[in-house]
């Protein structure tokens, strides 16, 4: 039985004062829940997250990472640096990185590898745009994104990673994939992995992300292949995030 996992993606939100409230509330609100929980904060607040969350059942992580180990890459942050701040997770391949910052499948695979080599758990995002869904190429897109990581890092690497299916048209739009639509793609992801390694597929946590809220979390996470959520907007409201964790 796979454990449920709920991860918050704060994106570029927050400040020292509001973060403190949010982190303290989440720490207290999910204590004792039988669910894995993490928050992915902006880089400058990782130390704050560590200070507030250390010793709790909430892990923390970052929202992106450099594919390079070190060097002349102004503005970049390495996986080893994230490790220095106690990060357990890092999001790679979020659609906002793919679409605004040019992260290609190859770059995402390199970031995935860099994270793994530093001992971090990648939360590896895949998902189609609205245009791709309407053209009926969702399966092709998601398979292509997955295959880039499998080709570079090997199927066994997915035993130490988390996959997040985030249909781009559902992110921050209030438009959630129906439980059936999400389940269909989650099953496709698990089947793709199972073709290479049934054991890895059976243990793989596949999160759904895209306007998950307290009101729809339970129904989504009740699907056979939905093992939790990657939460954007609702992760900024302590009560909502805690309610989603409780639903898991």
Q: Any idea which residues carry the catalytic annotation?
A: 94, 166
| The one among 227, 233, 244, 247 contacting ligand PGA by CB under 6 A | 233
| Dist. CA 210–CA 175, nearest whole Å | 8
Could you give the CA distance from residue 2 to residue 228 in angstroms, rounded to a whole number? 10
Interface with ligand PGA, residue 228, by CB under 6 A? no
Contact criterion met (CB below 8 Å) for 120 and 90: yes
Closest alpha carbon to 228 in 60, 241, 104, 98: 241
- Compare residues 115 and 155 and give the one whose CB is closer to ligand PGA: 115
Among 212, 226, 244, 245, binds ligand PGA (CB under 6 A): 212
Q: Which of the ranges 48-56, 105-113, 155-163, 203-211 carries the binding residues for ligand PGA, by CB under 6 A?
A: 203-211
Residues 94-133 close enough to bind ligand PGA by CB under 6 A: none
Return the beta strands (E) in 25-65 as ranges: 36-40, 58-62
Q: How far is the CB of 47 from ligand PGA (least distance, A)?
A: 23
DSSP state string for 107-165: HHHHHHHHHHHTT-EEEEEE---HHHHHTT-HHHHHHHHHHHHHHHH-GGGGGG-EEEE
Contact status: 231 vs ligand PGA (CB under 6 A) = yes
CB closer to ligand PGA out of 9 and 66: 9
Q: Which residue do the tokens 């200070």 mark?
A: 51
User: What minimum distance in Å lies between the beta carbon of 209 and ligand PGA?
Assistant: 4
Contacts with ligand PGA, 153-172, as mask; x by CB under 6 A: -------------x----xx
Distance CA 190, CA 192 (A): 5
Binding site for ligand PGA (CB under 6 A): 9, 166, 171-172, 209-212, 230-234
């Amino acid at each position: 039985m796979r454990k449920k996992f709920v991860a918050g993606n704060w994106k570029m939100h927050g400040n020292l004062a509001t973060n403190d409230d949010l982190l303290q509330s989440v720490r207290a609100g999910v204590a004792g829940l039988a669910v894995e929980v993490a928050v992915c904060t902006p880089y400058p607040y990782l130390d704050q997250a560590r200070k507030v969350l250390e010793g709790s059942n909430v892990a923390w992580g970052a929202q992106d990472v450099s594919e390079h180990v070190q060097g002349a890459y102004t503005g970049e942050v390495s996986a080893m640096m994230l490790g220095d701040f106690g990060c357990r997770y890092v999001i790679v391949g979020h659609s906002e990185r793919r679409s605004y910052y040019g992260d290609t499948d190859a770059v995402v695979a390199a970031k995935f590898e860099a994270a793994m080599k530093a001992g971090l758990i990648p939360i590896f995002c895949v998902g189609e745009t609205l245009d791709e869904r309407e053209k009926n190429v969702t399966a092709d897109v998601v398979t292509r994104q997955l295959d880039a990581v499998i080709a570079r890092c090997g199927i066994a690497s997915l035993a130490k990673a988390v996959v997040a299916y985030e249909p781009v048209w559902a992110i921050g739009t209030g438009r959630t994939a129906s439980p059936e639509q999400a389940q269909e793609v989650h099953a496709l992801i698990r089947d793709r992995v199972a073709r290479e390694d049934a054991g890895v597929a059976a243990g793989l946590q596949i999160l759904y992300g895209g306007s998950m809220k307290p009101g729809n979390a339970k129904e989504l996470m009740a699907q056979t292949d939905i093992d939790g959520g990657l939460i954007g907007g609702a992760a900024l409201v302590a009560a909502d995030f805690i309610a989603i964790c409780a639903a898991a």
